[in-house]
Amino acid sequence: MSFELLDEHEQGEVVRKWLRENALSMAIGVVVGLLLIFGWQQWKAHRANRAAEAAVQYQALADAATARNDEDVQKIAATLREEAPNGVYAVLAALQQAEMASDKGDLAAAGEALQWASSHAELPTMKALVTLRLARVKLAEGDADGAIKLLDGIKGDAFAGLAGEVRGDALVRLGRAEAARDAYAGALAHLEPQAPGRAVVQMKLDELPAASAPPAEASPAPEKLGS
Output the pLDDT for position 1.
Answer: 46
Measured between alpha carbons, how far is 15 from 78 in angstroms, rounded to an integer? 62
Higher pLDDT, 176 or 16: 176
Contact between 73 and 64 under an 8 Å Cβ cutoff? The reply is yes
Is the model more confident about 217 or about 103? 103
Q: Taking the complete model, does pTM exceed 0.75, yes or no?
A: no
The domains of the chain are located at 16-122, 123-207
Class of domain 123-207: mainly alpha
Instruction: Report the C-alpha gap between 30 and 167 in whole angstroms.
Output: 61
**133-188 tens-digit pLDDT:** 999 999 999 999 999 999 999 987 879 999 999 999 999 999 999 999 999 999 99
Helix, strand, coil shares of the chain, percent, nearest 5, are: 75, 0, 25
Residue among 142, 141, 188, 127 nearest 162 (CA):
188
What whole-number percentage of the chain has pLDDT above 70? 70
